[in-house]
């Protein structure tokens, strides 16, 4: 495994201590450093790849969030743009689901008039994603604005099919998020799993998948575990959040995340699960750590 940058800096500091304090003391300190790093690496069970969504912690400087994420055992900070990817790399982190293209949640691929603009923006970002060592990029259906579901699928597929050749060339997956249109994103079209699945079938490429947001889909349709088991081959990413309220995923809300996570693991899923709840507690990092531990099933 490649040594992370901050581990390298710690090693460098340790070498300086060798000269200052003598070999015996340095060897003892070296063993303690290695033991601490090993303990951190073994805190999590290894069945789940953990990530966190940047926007939930916008009041924490990104470098501080990266340090905390690494200490908790996360491998990714996501929903960050290209200008922030080098900061993640500095801390040995990836971005499991970056952004950097499109016009936002409300204006997406279901609007034919936006296709040229959307296609150009994704054609520009996909090579950057690949060159940064990343392999996914988020996208959205857009709001209905009176469009029926069948026509929405048809329109989205027309635009997305234009992008599949470049996505396939660079081995980047475009991931459309399933969002609720009941509470948070009124009129959003990709608001049910079956709609997203039908779109995946229409696009017909392994480089187009779904982001199954557990919080949003609990609000829209429930039956979370059965849905995951039925449609897991269409899902390349998961988000968490407590229902109701989108806060901590502990016993203050209605979803039982350990069971949901076990169901995800049992499907053979190898992607990332990202914490996307809005912490209510003053110690937001403690809430993040708790969420990761709840989802870290054996």
DSSP the chain: -PPPHHHHHHHHHHHHHHHHH-HHHHHHHHHHHHHHHHHHHTSS-SSSEEEEEGGGGTTS-HHHHHHHHHHHT--EEES--GGGHHHHHHTT-B-SS----SS-SSS-TT-GGGHHHHHHHHHHHHHHHHHTT--EEEE---B-TT--HHHHHHHHHHHHHHHHHHHHHHT-EEEEEP--TTTTSTTBS--SHHHHHHHHHHH--TTEEEEEEHHHHHHHT--HHHHHHHHGGGEEEEE---TTTS---STTSS--HHHHHHHHHHTT--SEEEE-----SS-HHHHHHHHHHHH---
- Examine the domain organization and report whether 60 and 189 are in the same domain: yes
Residue 223 has pLDDT above 50, yes or no: yes
Q: Which domain holds residue 82?
A: 45-295
Q: Is 28 in the same domain as 169?
A: no
Pair 90, 27 in one domain:
no
Report the pLDDT value the prediction gives residue 33, as an integer from 0 to 100: 35
Can you tell me the mean pLDDT for 43-70? 97
Clarify whether residues 31 and 50 are in a common domain. no
What's the pLDDT at 197? 98
Judge if 139 and 32 occupy the same domain.
Answer: no
Domains held by the chain: number: 2
- Say if residue 265's pLDDT is above 70: yes
Residue 168 sits in the same domain as residue 225: yes
**Over 70: is that where the pLDDT of 187 sits?**
yes
How much is the pLDDT for 43?
A: 81
Residue range 99-110, pLDDT digits in tens: 999 999 999 999
CATH number at residue 247: 3.20.20.150
Q: For residues 35 and 118, state if they share a domain.
A: no
Asked whether residue 194 falls in the same domain as residue 272, the answer is yes
Mark whether 5 and 72 lie in a shared domain.
no
Grade residue 169 by pLDDT with cuts at 50, 70 and 90.
very high
Contact between 248 and 290 (Cβ < 8 Å): yes
pLDDT (tens digit per residue) in 272-283: 999 999 999 999
Angle at 56 between CA 86 and CA 129, to 5 degrees: 30
**212 & 265 share domain:** yes
pLDDT of residue 28: 34
Q: What is the mean pLDDT of the chain?
A: 89
Check pLDDT > 90 for residue 3: no
pLDDT of residue 215: 98
Same domain, 35 and 62: no
pLDDT at residue 231 greater than cutoff 50: yes
Q: Say whether both 29 and 62 belong to one domain.
A: no
């Amino acid at each position: 495994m490649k040594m992370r940058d901050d581990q390298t800096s710690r090693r460098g500091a340790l070498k300086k201590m060798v000269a200052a304090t003598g070999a015996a003391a340095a060897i003892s300190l070296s063993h303690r450093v290695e033991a601490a790093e090993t303990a951190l690496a073994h805190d999590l069970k290894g069945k789940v790849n953990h990530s966190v969504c940047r926007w939930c912690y916008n009041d924490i400087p990104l470098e501080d969030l990266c340090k905390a994420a690494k200490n908790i055992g996360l491998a990714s900070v996501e929903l960050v743009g290209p200008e922030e990817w080098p900061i993640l790399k500095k801390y040995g982190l990836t971005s499991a689901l970056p952004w950097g293209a499109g016009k936002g949640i409300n204006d997406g691929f279901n609007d034919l008039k936006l296709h040229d603009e959307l296609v150009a923006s994704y054609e520009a970002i996909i090579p950057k994603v690949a060159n940064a060592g990343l392999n996914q990029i988020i996208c959205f259906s857009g709001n209905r604005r009176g469009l029926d579901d069948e026509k929405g699928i048809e329109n989205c597929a027309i635009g997305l099919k234009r992008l599949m050749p470049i996505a396939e060339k660079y081995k980047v997956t475009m991931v459309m998020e399933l969002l609720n249109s009941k509470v948070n994103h009124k009129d959003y079209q990709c608001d049910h799993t079956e709609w997203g699945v039908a779109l995946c079938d229409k696009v017909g490429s392994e480089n187009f998948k779904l982001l199954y947001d557990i919080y949003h889909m609990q609000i829209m349709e429930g039956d979370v575990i059965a849905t995951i088991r039925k449609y897991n081959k269409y899902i390349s990413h998961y988000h968490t959040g407590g229902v109701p309220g989108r806060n901590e995923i502990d016993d203050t809300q209605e979803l039982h995340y350990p069971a949901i996570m076990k169901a995800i693991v049992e499907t053979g899923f190898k992607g990332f699960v990202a914490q996307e709840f809005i912490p209510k507690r003053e110690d937001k990092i403690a809430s993040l750590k708790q969420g990761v531990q709840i989802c870290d099933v054996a």
